[in-house]
């Protein structure tokens, strides 16, 4: 590849903080709030025009409750939901045989509450600001370089938390990482969209009819009889019928998520295999291809799924939803066995219960495997190798391709963010590298502030 040398340049230092969070998705929001709690100087940068990351693309939050119905994610993530509920921007947590638990949310409320919350916590939030590079000092990061309409600028920080979903900071810092399965195959992305004017009651009653033709995967008809809000995954025979009639669909399962508004549903059915969410050319093609799939998906829904007869397209998610890119190889790599055996760790900082939910990198299907109860997420999976003051939270933590398919869900990402924020605060206060943070102190603080851990 042809290259050029970038000329050396003096950059203005626009901020000098204790803790800097890069990325304002579910993990970043909680990390910034936790780090700022007792007076440290905290900043958060976000490349988009709003906070929330994937909380804003029409997805419900899964996994606040565990498989046994007890609440496994509490603390700051629950406080966030409480704020949303106050403005009718979230439902209560609802158990589900397939998704373990569902919390329905409204994307626009998420954006507003997230900003309110961080402003109230005194976090310096910069939207429209892209992390582009690191500034190093020995084995530590001295700060980062950002890009915005003002050009290149620097932010200095004592600890940095990478919540970009793609491990952008860890990658630039040279921390070891992996991408995809043993063949490099990553879970494919989906462009979410919503429809309005759907008769969700009609759909629900059809799904509740034991003798009817509309079958959901794993969820029995009685569930639909009892719940007005739901996610339906399945309708495989309905799709086969449509396909026989010449409708082309990119997935094997229908996924419809009821919204908070009457007649609103979100559709999780586009799928573009082979997209690399860290490559703009690949993302461009992926976004274009996903948009092309939407018309045909609507043709299927309106033509074959009960309740959609009068439905209309409403809004497209603001960006292509990326399930998987880089995962750091940290001080511990969480595995499929850890999850399926409900493993406990001495350095547990969060508890999750969601199944391995692997959207296959090739083809159009997905496989699911549940643990009996719940499993721990160890602090060491948030600690990248080689850099003494960097933590990672969210979907780019240290986990195998299979384990990521479970731990990537938003409630655990929020809990990891809270833990990373509190760990960063302890590292600053005690002047130690992040890997040497006193784990018992961190775990005690988490529990004292309302987070759930299975054992202390
Ligand atoms: C199609 C799809 C369906 C899913 N379904 C569900 C579901 O139903 N329920 C559920 O709970 N989870 C679901 N997930 C998983 C979940 O949404 C994500 O794994 C989770 O949001 C990851 O959280 P995060 O904080 O790590 O990253 P993200 O939510 O991706 O947030 C990262 C943030 O960092 C910002 N950022 C990234 N790079 C930079 C940079 N260089 N500079 C500045 N800012 C940057 C981004 O703009 C973004 O706001 C789904 C994911 C997808 C893609």
From 30, 44, 53, the mutation candidate for ligand 1 (largest count of ligand atoms within 8 A of CB) is 53
Collect the ranges in the chain with pLDDT lower than 70. none
List ligand 1's pocket residues with C-beta within 6 A: 22-28, 45-48, 53-54, 59-62, 130-131, 163-166, 168, 189-190, 268, 321-323, 394-395, 408-410, 413
Ligand 1 centroid from CA 243, angstroms:
32
Distance CA 421, CA 33 (A): 7
- In this prediction, residue 108 carries a pLDDT of 97
Instruction: State whether residue 431 is helix, strand or coil.
Output: coil
User: Could you give the 3-state DSSP secondary structure of residue 43?
Assistant: strand
Longest CA span, the chain: 72
Instruction: Report which of 342, 30, 384 is spatially closest to residue 178, judged by C-alpha positions.
Output: 384
Q: How far is the CA of 107 from the centre of ligand 1 (A)?
A: 13
Q: Residue 332, Cβ neighbours under 10 Å: how many?
A: 19
Residue 404 alpha carbon to ligand 1 centre in Å: 13
CA distances from 361 to 185, 210, 315, 404 (A): 5, 33, 27, 13
**pLDDT, position 43:** 98
Question: Of 137, 351, 84, 97, which is closest to residue 230 (Cα–Cα)?
Answer: 97
Q: Match 């620097």 to its residue by tokens.
A: 154
Distance 246 CA to ligand 1 centre (A): 34
Residue in 93, 164, 270, 366 to alter for ligand 1 test, most ligand atoms within 8 A of Cβ: 164
Instruction: Please state the atom number of ligand 1 nearest to the C-alpha of residue 411.
Output: 11
How far does residue 214's CA lie from ligand 1's centre (Å)? 31
Using the atom order of ligand 1, give the atom closest to the CA of residue 354: 11
Compute the distance between CA of residue 360 and CA of residue 365 in angstroms, rounded to an integer: 6
Cα gap 263→186, rounded to integer Å: 34
Residues in the chain: 456
Q: How far apart are CA 253 and CA 231, in angstroms?
A: 12
The predicted structure's pLDDT at residue 365 = 86
C-alpha of residue 289 to centroid of ligand 1, in Å: 20
Q: Does residue 389 contact residue 346 with C-beta atoms inside 8 Å?
A: no
- What is the predicted pLDDT for the residue at 213? 95
Spatial neighbors of 246 by CB under 8 A, at least 6 apart, are: none
Give yes or no for a contact between 345 and 378, defined as CB atoms under 8 angstroms apart: yes
The best mutation among 59, 255, 280 to test binding of ligand 1, ranked by most ligand atoms within 8 Å of the C-beta, falls on 59
Picking from 393, 390, 400, the residue whose alpha carbon sits closest to that of residue 332 is 400
- Residue 25 alpha carbon to ligand 1 centre in Å: 6
Cα of 54 from ligand 1 centre, angstroms: 4
Ligand 1: atom nearest CA of 130 is 42
Q: Which of 219, 221, 213 is nearest to 239 (CA)?
A: 213
Q: Which atom of ligand 1 is nearest to the CA of 168?
A: 41
Say what the pLDDT of residue 364 is.
84
If one counts every other C-beta atom within 10 angstroms of the C-beta of residue 262, the result is 11
Q: Looking at 277-355, list the stretches that DSSP marks H as alpha helix, in order from N- to C-terminal side.
A: 280-304, 336-340
Q: Mutate which of 52, 72, 73, 165 to test ligand 1's pocket (most atoms within 8 Å of Cβ)?
A: 165
- Ligand 1 closest atom vs CA 414: 25
For ligand 1, atom 17: residue with the closest CA: 54
Residues 333, 397: Cα–Cα separation, whole Å: 8
């Amino acid at each position: 590849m042809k290259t050029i040398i970038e000329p050396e340049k003096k950059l203005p230092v626009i901020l000098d903080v204790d803790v800097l969070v890069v990325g304002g998705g579910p993990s970043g929001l909680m990390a910034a709030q936790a780090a700022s709690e007792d007076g440290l100087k905290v900043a958060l940068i976000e490349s988009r025009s709003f906070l929330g990351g994937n909380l804003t693309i029409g997805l419900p939050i899964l996994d606040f409750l565990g498989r046994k119905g007890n609440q496994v994610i509490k603390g700051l993530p629950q406080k966030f939901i409480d704020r949303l509920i106050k403005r009718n921007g979230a439902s209560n947590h609802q158990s589900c045989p397939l998704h373990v638990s569902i919390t329905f949310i409204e994307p626009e409320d998420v954006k507003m509450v997230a900003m309110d919350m961080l402003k109230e916590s005194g976090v310096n939030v910069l939207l429209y600001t892209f992390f582009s590079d690191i500034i190093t000092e020995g084995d530590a990061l001295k700060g980062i370089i950002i890009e915005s309409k003002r050009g290149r600028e620097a932010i200095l920080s004592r600890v940095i938390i990478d919540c970009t979903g793609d491990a952008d900071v860890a990658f630039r810092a040279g921390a070891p990482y992996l991408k995809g399965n043993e063949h490099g195959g990553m879970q494919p992305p989906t462009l979410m969209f919503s429809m309005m004017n759907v008769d969700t009651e009609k759909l629900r009653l059809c799904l509740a009819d034991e003798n009817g033709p509309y079958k959901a995967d794993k969820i029995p008809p009685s569930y639909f009889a009892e719940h007005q809000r739901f996610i339906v995954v399945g309708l495989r025979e309905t799709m086969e019928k449509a396909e026989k009639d010449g409708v082309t669909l990119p997935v094997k399962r229908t996924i419809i998520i009821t919204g908070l508004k009457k007649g609103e549903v979100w559709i999780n059915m586009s799928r573009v295999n082979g997209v690399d969410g860290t490559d703009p050319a690949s993302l461009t093609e992926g976004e274009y291809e996903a948009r092309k799939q939407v018309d045909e998906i609507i043709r299927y829904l309106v033509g074959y799924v009960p309740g959609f007869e009068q439905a209309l397209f409403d809004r497209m998610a603001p960006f292509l939803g990326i399930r998987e890119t880089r995962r750091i190889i940290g001080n511990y790599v969480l595995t499929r066995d850890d999850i399926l055996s409900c493993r406990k760790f001495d350095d547990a900082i969060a508890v999750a219960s969601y199944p391995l939910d692997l959207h296959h990198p090739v083809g159009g299907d997905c496989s699911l495997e549940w643990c009996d109860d719940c499993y721990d997420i160890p602090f060491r999976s948030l600690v990248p190798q080689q850099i003494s003051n960097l933590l990672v939270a969210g979907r780019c933590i240290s986990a195998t391709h299979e384990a990521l398919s479970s731990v990537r869900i938003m409630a655990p990402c929020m809990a990891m963010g809270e833990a990373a924020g509190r760990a960063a605060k302890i590292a600053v206060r005690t002047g130690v590298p992040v890997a040497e943070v006193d784990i018992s102190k961190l775990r005690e603080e988490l529990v004292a502030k309302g987070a759930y851990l299975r054992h202390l």
